[in-house]
Structure 1
């Protein structure tokens, strides 16, 4: 087979920014890097793209290796190609972000990679340009969550309004007015009220809700729930 003459090969990698929510805190899943350089330092889960797979396939394979799961919410974020981003060899990385309900998947995270969940404000310094990838992913998550209900991917099938509100507060790093939130989310028509209650926090309890999947793709904007001086950019 003919090859392009005088062209140096460049490695292509995929890195996965994996967000999870445990009902109280939004967290990031990171691993201990298993190879040099910077072995045993904290890193996003990633790997090189194989010759027989496309980018999406590589990202799904990497997530399967780490979590043992498939059919997770996965979205391509951005391509990173600074000349010095990898000190060993010129490598271009395509970043993806994934959304996981921690409580559902906690027993399935593969400990072969020494994976650990960190609250966003307590994430250790990551290798290479992975800190930038996480920042970009948070900003993208905020933007997307303002336009459509992707944050429901972080919730269990049944959840309470307080759990949903805390999730949005975690994502946007701001407090949301409780009455306004309840009014807006009720008006969206996306939630189906259940007969059961969660009484773990109080005797009165809070009703469970489910997402109305039939309306999942309806026009949906949460951006106006947030204070006007709080944009979607991560500072």
Structure 2
């Protein structure tokens, strides 16, 4: 049997195809009640001038570190955001330079600031997801996967609470579901379902300082509970029909 040392002594890297690894980040936030994605304008070839997801090549770092670094370098977005691996994209023709495997990430948080361009990006801006198309590389497919992950995940996990402040009303939480799903749940049914899921939200005992727009009573304030899975799940209205 060949030992590891003997193998390494005779190792020829030219015998193996060169493959690069990148990270691409689908960063979502809600602005004026609309779900937005963070996009950059590519400042270099390939695809110079086209919009793309923030991302870049992985250095001597972990994948999570690479995702946070690229997000900070290209857009100036530095706050603590929820970040999770989404999927791997590796079609042979996805990058004209070489064979590139991309580890896609999903990130989101409430009240994310206006981006500050940096790195090799020429510009950066928030774009409503309904108008984000024609992106560079295969980023349309990555964005679609990120949107479906977010839409499905808020059905069975309390992840929607990552889009609101530490204290929130049920109406504000419903606004998150409306923006992410792209369809509005029935207000009364939503309120009842949220409060019936064990551990989803916890009553803070406080209320808003003023009533609703129509002069109604002040709304109760809630915080995220300790549940990790929502049971029963909150299904999209279109899936309940």
Provide the TM-score with structure 1 as the length reference.
0.85
Among 192, 208, 223, the alignment partner of 2:234 is 223
Alignment of 1:34-183 (within 5 A): 34-50=43-59, 52-65=60-73, 66-101=75-110, 103=111, 105-107=112-114, 109-112=115-118, 113=121, 114-183=123-192
- Alignment CA distance shift 1:25-1:221 (3 Å): farther
Pairwise CA distance, 1:34: 1.6
- Alignment CA distance shift 1:197-1:48 (3 Å): same
Q: CA RMSD in A?
A: 2.4
Does structure 2 retain, via aligned residues, the 8 Å contact 1:15–1:47? yes
- Alignment CA distance shift 1:222-1:171 (3 Å): farther
Deviates more, 1:199-208 or 1:54-63: 199-208
For residues 27 and 42 of structure 1, the distance between their equivalents in structure 2, rounded to whole angstroms, comes to: 14
Does structure 2 retain, via aligned residues, the 8 Å contact 1:169–1:176? yes
Pairwise CA distance, 1:40: 1.5
Deviates more, 1:152-161 or 1:23-32: 152-161
The gaps in structure 1 that reach 5 residues or longer are: 231-235
- Alignment CA distance shift 1:100-1:212 (3 Å): closer
1:106-154 deviation digits (Å, cap 9, x = unpaired): 15x3233421111111114211100000111111112221111112111
The gaps in structure 2 that reach 5 residues or longer are: 1-7
Pairwise CA distance, 1:95: 0.3
Work out the number of aligned pairs and report it. 225
Pairwise CA distance, 1:48: 0.1
Match of 1:233 in 2: none
Does structure 2 retain, via aligned residues, the 8 Å contact 1:12–1:93? yes
Query: Which is bigger in relative contact order (C-alpha 8 A, separation at least 6)?
Result: 1
Does structure 2 retain, via aligned residues, the 8 Å contact 1:197–1:205? no
Q: Which has the larger Rg?
A: 2
For residues 155 and 28 of structure 1, the distance between their equivalents in structure 2, rounded to whole angstroms, comes to: 16
1:78-128 deviation digits (Å, cap 9, x = unpaired): 111111101122111110010121x2x315x32334211111111142111
Pairwise CA distance, 1:49: 0.3
Does structure 2 retain, via aligned residues, the 8 Å contact 1:25–1:119? yes
Does structure 2 retain, via aligned residues, the 8 Å contact 1:23–1:163? no
Match of 2:3 in 1: none
